[in-house]
């Protein structure tokens, strides 16, 4: 009987969980904020109850038998076996139940995959270990990294994750979308396979290198929705969250305007003090380098070279600039970094992480060694 | 040692007649006796169960609290990868081969396996394969950490997997050869060495399920070997099977892998079904309810296992027709699986049940495996899988179908047959304690993982957001209790081999067991050589009365 109790407790907890969906912990699938996510939730509940019903029936019979048909109670064993009627019944009934499940499941599946007649398209590119978003209808294009507080906390021994707001579920630049608009996503990857999942939208979809997948959403309610990468993508797989902010149309339009203007701004290449360069460089490092080279610049034994005491880092500055811009077979090219970011991060790695060269480089001294006019995303595109 | 198996073979009549095992360590290295090899397999599997279990403890310790406390994320990934590989290829599969070695010849009235020397070789290749795999743990760049599924391009990435890839690939080759040799041996034994009076439909279900499993092994192990070989050539010989830039496709690997991987999960569960169908009738003191439907259900599950693989890949980006086909095909598996569960229930119905440790584990198996089966049905529905996929809901599902299913049944088999093999009775009190600790803690360990997955926790992450903290802690506590409880099993195995309770068991061991299958008609402990002349009569109570 123990098992049935456990099951019924589980079911009760799940029902309570529905009401407390936004409490600290949830027990059941979230209903989400799209029609598809609601349909998936309803289907989930339907199947869950069918399974509970089957479970109660089968386990009930079994436990009745265990309780009554025991030798210690003097029950004599019957010797019946093989009953064709019974066997046909317990083949037909499950088949009918399955057909009953398949019909709504097929409907939802068709709905989930229908990307036609979308109002706008966003390209999502998974990269180790952040997301790159490109709005194909306007020129907005940005990267979305784990925010600095979580980044530092999860890399620091003894840090208290509970003191960090939205630990591991916060990004520096969230994906912003308008509500009640059919948005088509095209997903791909710049390196290994990732998977883009926001539970409130009702689906995840793999981002495969060299191929393009499609998905869509239309969010009913303005709000902030969080998710994570769900395909193992290397050491920092657990540290590339997704944050989607759904806005009312006017707010969204204002955001587009603001973001487009920001993107058109030329980077500030004015001189900075040594300390400013180092401080800004740390932020650049935390976004772009820390995943491989680690927070103390140690690298990973046998796989990723250390920055600490590396002659490449502490040697001449010009070769270092070239190295960062061109990349290697193991390291991606960081041509995406602006001159000021390059100057900052170079000054940082030469004067921190156990290195003390004592010099600095100003943004206007960065000379393009490897000029990359092309949008770097073009590299990831392969004709389908 | 050939004389051992060829004792009654005229061609070897002039050879030295050896009636007992060789002395010393050499006995175990060169043995061709099915019982010795069965013992080797089982002890090796038990050792690997603790090695894989220790890795699970590392995983649960890291996940006890949010934040990274003990291990580096890459090492965490190595642990999840190696835990799976060691448990699947080192513990569960070898344990069932060990059971097959011990039981199949005794159950079908054969003196040994059909190919005894190959039997020895397949065991030692297994050891070599697992050692090759385990050696990567000592490498500076660490063990494979791209998941036991070895998905490219991650597994080929120089910054992710260091020097371990070729070791893992060749380990898979060795394990594959070992499994295929074992499977050939089992098929040859069952087809050729049954007692003359035993028809196919007289065979105990354990023999039937293993026969079907052996065909699955032969069919899919080469596929896995081929898939990892393509990884090897992509990595070292500049082929582009899985690289889009060279015209390949990373998703192709997933199709090949799961064409192996799905039958693989049935390779681990079909013998489980066989043992359960053997144990439950004995303790219900009734014939198995539907013998022939159980055989057909096993066969159809095996057939369907080949045509459902892409349900592991619903979110990978398949055409609608593919999504729907794999959804429907997967759902159909619920029918034969249901037939099995209903059959076990009907076998218990109106029996005269007693609840010794093997029966307790078997009942827990039926209940908990059914729960895993029901969540499996939920994720068979493609649109639902778009939420469940790659979350802890999946982790909970497949652990329910493996731990309280395959592992519990292996425990049950140990308690059931150890008295027969050793002639000693295990300590029933400690056995029951082991059962209750395991059955309760396994639910504390895995049930909360359903909640975690539904709430949005992805699998294979070393650290998590705060809202997942409570259930992870509960799950870890369950994990530690479960892990420690298994030391009781180790104690019982050693204790029983050394004499157990001191009570000498009868040939039947369990009341009425000799009505069910042949091994119980042999003396306890079973002699080193059995059925040198085949039994004249085989128990047929499990088939139709009209038979």
Give A290-301 pLDDT, tens digit per residue. 999 999 999 998
Catalytic residue IDs of B: 83, 112, 148, 178-179, 262, 264, 266, 277, 311-312, 337, 340, 459
pLDDT at B90 over 90: yes
B287/chain A closest Cα distance in angstroms: 7
ipTM score for this prediction: 0.91
Residue of B nearest to A47 (CA): B378
Tell me the per-residue pLDDT of B118-137, one tens digit each, with 9 for 90 and over.
999 999 999 999 999 999 99
Whether residue B66 and residue A162 make contact (CB cut-off 8 A), yes or no, is yes
Among A54, A166, A234, the residue with its CB nearest the CB of B154 is: A234
Q: Check pLDDT > 80 for residue B33.
A: yes
Query: What would the mean pLDDT of A324-350 be, rounded to a whole number?
Result: 90
> Among all residues of chain A, which has the CA nearest to that of B542?
A81
Is residue B383 predicted with pLDDT exceeding 90? yes
Q: Cβ B378–A48 below 8 Å, yes or no?
A: yes
Give the start-to-end residue ranges of the domains of chain B. 1-30, 31-521
Has residue B543 got a pLDDT over 60?
no
CATH of domain B31-521: 1.20.210.10
Tell me, what's the pLDDT at B3?
38
Residue contact B73–A238, C-beta within 8 A: yes
In the numeric block, the tokens 């590299």 are attached to A379
> With a CB-CB cutoff of 8 Å, which residues 144-173 of chain B face chain A?
145-147, 151, 153-154, 157-160, 162-163
How many Cα atoms occupy the beta-carbon half-sphere of B439 within 13 Å?
Answer: 25
> What does the pLDDT read at residue B77?
96
Work out the mean pLDDT of chain B and round it to a whole number: 93
Q: Are the beta carbons of B157 and A192 separated by less than 8 Å?
A: yes
Report pLDDT digits (tens) over A8-17. 555 555 554 4
Q: What is the mean predicted confidence (pLDDT) over A131-156?
A: 94
Q: What angle do CA B322, B323, B329 make, to 5 degrees?
A: 85
Q: Does B131 touch chain A (CB under 8 A)?
A: no
Residue B180 has pLDDT above 70, yes or no: yes
Q: B34 to chain A nearest CA, in Å?
A: 33
What is the chain A residue with the closest CA to B457?
A228
Is the pLDDT at B208 greater than 50, yes or no?
yes
- Inter-chain touch A26–B451, beta carbons under 8 Å: yes
Of A282, A152, A128, A290, nearest to B68 by C-alpha is A152
Task: List the single best residue of B75, B138, B456, B471 to mutate versus A (max A Cβ within 10 A).
Answer: B456
pLDDT in tens, B291-320: 999 999 999 999 999 999 999 999 999 999
Q: Nearest Cβ partner of B345 from A62, A169, A199? A: A62
- Contact: B159, A155; criterion CB under 8 Å: no
B221-258 as b/e, with b when 16 or more CB fall inside 10 Å?
bebbbebbbbbbebbeeeeebbbbeeebbbbebbbbbb
Confidence of residue B9 (pLDDT cuts 50, 70, 90): very low
What residue in B sits closest to A4 (Cα-Cα)? B367
In this predicted model, what pLDDT tens digit does every residue of B440-461 receive, in sequence order? 999 999 999 999 999 999 999 9
| Model pLDDT, residue A158 | 83
pLDDT tens per residue across span B481-495: 999 999 999 999 999
- Asked if B461 and B427 touch (Cβ cutoff 8 Å), the reply is no
In chain B, pLDDT over 70 holds for what percent of residues? 95
Query: pLDDT averaged over chain A?
Result: 88
Structure confidence at residue A80 (pLDDT): 81
Q: What is the pLDDT of residues B411-431, one digit of tens each?
A: 999 999 999 999 999 999 999
In this structure, of A346-350, A368-372, B204-208, B216-220, the range with the lowest mean pLDDT score is: A368-372
Per-residue pLDDT, averaged over B180-205, amounts to 95
In this complex, do B467 and A25 lie within 8 Å of one another by their Cβ atoms?
A: yes
pLDDT at residue A376 greater than cutoff 50: no
Judged by CB atoms closer than 8 Å, whether chains meet at A65 and B460 is answered as no
Question: Is B141 an interface residue toward A (CB < 8 Å)?
Answer: yes
Pairing verdict, β A175-178 and A241-247: parallel
Q: Give the model's confidence band at B408: pLDDT under 50 very low, under 70 low, under 90 confident, else very high.
A: very high
Taking CA atoms, what residue in B is nearest to A163?
Answer: B466
Domains in chain A (CATH in brackets) are 2-113 (1.10.287.90), 120-264 (2.60.40.420), 274-374 (1.10.760.10)
For residue B527, give Cα distances in angstroms to A84, B418, B507. Answer: 41, 14, 11
Beta-bridge mates of residue A209: A189
Q: Which residues of A touch B464 (CB under 8 A)?
A: 168, 238
Comparing CB atoms, the residue among B73, B454, B458 nearest residue A26 is B454
Set of chain B residues whose Cβ sits within 8 Å of the Cβ of A115? none
Label residues A98-121 b or e (16+ Cβ within 10 Å = b): beebbebbbebbeebbebeebeeb
**pTM, two decimal places:** 0.92
Residue B339 has pLDDT above 60, yes or no: yes
Neighbours of B170 (CB within 10 A): 17
- Name the residue among A98, A214, A302 with its Cβ closest to that of B141: A302
Whether residue B250 and residue A59 make contact (CB cut-off 8 A), yes or no, is: no
* Residue of B138, B458, B464 to mutate, interface with A, max A Cβ within 10 Å: B458
A34-86, pLDDT tens digit by residue? 999 999 999 999 999 999 999 999 999 999 999 999 998 888 888 888 888 99
Q: Answer yes or no: are the C-beta atoms of B107 and B207 closer than 8 Å.
A: yes
Closest C-alpha among A248, A209, A224 to residue B252: A209
B138: distance to nearest CA of chain A, Å? 13
Widest pairwise Cα distance in chain A: 95
Per-residue pLDDT, B537: 80
List all residues of chain B from 209 to 268 with a beta carbon under 8 Å from chain A: 243-245, 249-251
pLDDT reported for residue B10: 44
User: How far is the C-alpha of B537 from the C-alpha of B109, rounded, in Å?
Assistant: 10
Helix (H, G, I), strand (E, B) or coil at B514: helix
- Which uninterrupted H or E stretch holds B93? helix B93-108
C-beta atoms of B154 and A193 within 8 A: yes
Helix and strand numbers (H, E) in chain A are: 10, 10
């Amino acid at each position: 009987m123990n098992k049935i109790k456990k099951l019924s407790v589980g079911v009760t907890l799940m029902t309570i969980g529905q009401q407390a969906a936004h409490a600290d912990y949830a027990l059941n699938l979230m209903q989400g904020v799209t029609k598809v996510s609601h349909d998936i939730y309803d289907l989930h509940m339907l199947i869950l109850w069918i399974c509970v019903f089957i479970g109660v029936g089968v386990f009930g019979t079994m436990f009745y038998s265990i309780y009554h048909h025991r030798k210690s109670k003097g029950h004599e064993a019957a010797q019946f076996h093989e009953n064709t009627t019974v066997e046909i019944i317990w083949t037909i009934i499950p088949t009918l139940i399955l057909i009953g499940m398949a019909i709504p499941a097929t409907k939802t599946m068709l709905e989930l995959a229908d990307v036609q007649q979308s109002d706008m398209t966003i390209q999502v590119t998974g990269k180790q270990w952040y997301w790159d978003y490109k709005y194909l209808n306007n020129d907005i294009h940005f990267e979305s990294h784990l925010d600095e507080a979580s980044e530092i906390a999860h890399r620091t021994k003894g840090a208290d994750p509970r003191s960090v707001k939205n630990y591991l579920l916060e990004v520096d630049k969230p994906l912003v979308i308008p509500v009640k608009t059919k948005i088509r996503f095209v997903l791909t990857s710049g390196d290994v396979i990732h998977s883009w999942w926001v539970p409130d939208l009702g689906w995840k979809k793999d981002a495969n290198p060299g191929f393009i997948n499609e998905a869509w959403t239309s969010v009913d309610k303005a709000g902030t929705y969080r998710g994570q990468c769900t395909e193992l993508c290397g050491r920092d797989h657990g540290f590339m969250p997704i944050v989607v902010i759904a806005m009312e149309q006017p707010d969204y339009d204002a955001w587009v305007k603001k973001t487009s203007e920001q993107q058109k701004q030329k980077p500030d290449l004015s001189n900075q003090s040594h300390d400013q360069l180092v401080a800004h460089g740390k932020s650049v490092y935390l976004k772009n380098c820390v995943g491989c080279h680690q927070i103390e610049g140690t690298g990973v034994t046998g796989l990723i070279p250390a920055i600490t005491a590396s002659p490449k880092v502490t040697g001449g500055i010009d070769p270092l600039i070239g190295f960062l811009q061109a990349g290697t077979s193991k390291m991606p090219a960081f041509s995406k970094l602006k001159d000021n970011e390059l100057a900052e991060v170079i000054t940082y790695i030469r004067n921190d992480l156990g290195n003390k060269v004592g010099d600095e480089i100003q943004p206007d001294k960065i000379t393009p060694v490897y000029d990359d006019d092309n949008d770097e995303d073009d590299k990831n595109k392969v004709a389908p | 040692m050939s004389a051992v198996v060829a004792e009654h073979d005229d061609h070897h009549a002039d050879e030295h007649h050896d009636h007992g095992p060789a002395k010393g360590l050499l006995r175990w290295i060169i043995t061709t006796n099915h019982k010795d090899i069965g013992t080797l397999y089982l002890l090796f599997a038990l050792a690997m169960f603790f090695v894989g279990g220790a890795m699970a403890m590392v995983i649960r310790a890291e996940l006890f609290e949010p934040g990274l406390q003990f291990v580096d994320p890459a090492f965490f990934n190595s642990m999840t990868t190696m835990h799976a590989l060691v448990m699947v290829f080192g513990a569960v599969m070898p344990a069932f081969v060990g059971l097959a070695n011990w039981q199949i010849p005794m159950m079908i009235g054969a003196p040994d396996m059909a190919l005894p020397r190959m039997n020895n070789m397949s065991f030692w290749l297994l050891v070599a394969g697992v050692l090759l795999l385990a050696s990567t743990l000592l490498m500076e760049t660490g063990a494979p950490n791209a998941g036991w599924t070895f998905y490219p391009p991650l597994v080929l990435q120089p910054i992710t997997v260091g020097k371990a890839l070729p070791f893992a690939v060749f380990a898979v080759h060795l394990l594959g050869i070992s499994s295929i040799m074992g499977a050939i041996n089992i098929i040859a034994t069952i087809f050729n060495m049954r007692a003359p009076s035993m028809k196919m439909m007289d065979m105990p279900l354990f023999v039937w399920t293993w026969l079907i499993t052996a065909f699955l092994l032969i069919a899919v192990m080469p596929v896995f070997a081929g898939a990892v070989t393509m990884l090897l050539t992509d990595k070292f010989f500049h082929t582009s099977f899985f690289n889009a830039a060279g015209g390949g496709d990373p998703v192709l690997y997933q199709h090949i892998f799961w064409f192996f991987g799905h039958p693989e999960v049935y390779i681990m569960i079909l013998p489980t079904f066989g043992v359960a169908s053997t144990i439950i009738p004995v303790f219900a003191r009734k014939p198995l309810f539907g013998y022939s439907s159980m055989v057909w259900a096993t066969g159809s599950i095996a057939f369907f296992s080949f045509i459902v693989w892409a349900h592991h890949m619903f979110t990978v980006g398949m055409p609608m027709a593919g999504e729907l086909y794999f959804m429907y095909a997967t759902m159909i598996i619920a029918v034969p699986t249901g037939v099995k569960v209903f059959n076990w229930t009907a076998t218990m119905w109106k029996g005269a049940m007693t609840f010794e440790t093997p029966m307790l584990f078997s009942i827990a198996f039926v209940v908990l495996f059914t729960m895993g089966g029901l969540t499996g049905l939920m994720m068979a529905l493609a649109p639902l899988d778009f939420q469940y996929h790659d979350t802890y809901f999946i982790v909970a599902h497949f652990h329910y179908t493996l731990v309280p299913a395959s592992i519990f049944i292996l425990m049950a088999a140990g308690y059931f047959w150890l008295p027969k093999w050793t002639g000693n009775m295990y300590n029933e009190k400690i056995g029951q304690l082991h059962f209750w600790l395991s059955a309760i803690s396994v639910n504390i360990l895995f049930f909360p993982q359903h909640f975690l997955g539904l709430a949005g926790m992805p699998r294979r992450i070393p650290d998590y957001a705060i809202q997942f903290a409570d259930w992870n802690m509960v799950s870890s506590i369950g994990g530690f209790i479960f892990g420690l409880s298994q030391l009781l099993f180790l104690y019982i195995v050693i204790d029983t081999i050394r004499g157990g309770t001191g009570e000498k068991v009868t040939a039947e061991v369990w009341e009425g067991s000799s009505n069910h299958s042949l091994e119980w008609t042999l003396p306890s402990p079973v002699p080193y050589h059995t059925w040198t002349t085949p039994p004249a009569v085989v128990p047929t109570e499990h088939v139709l009365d009209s038979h």
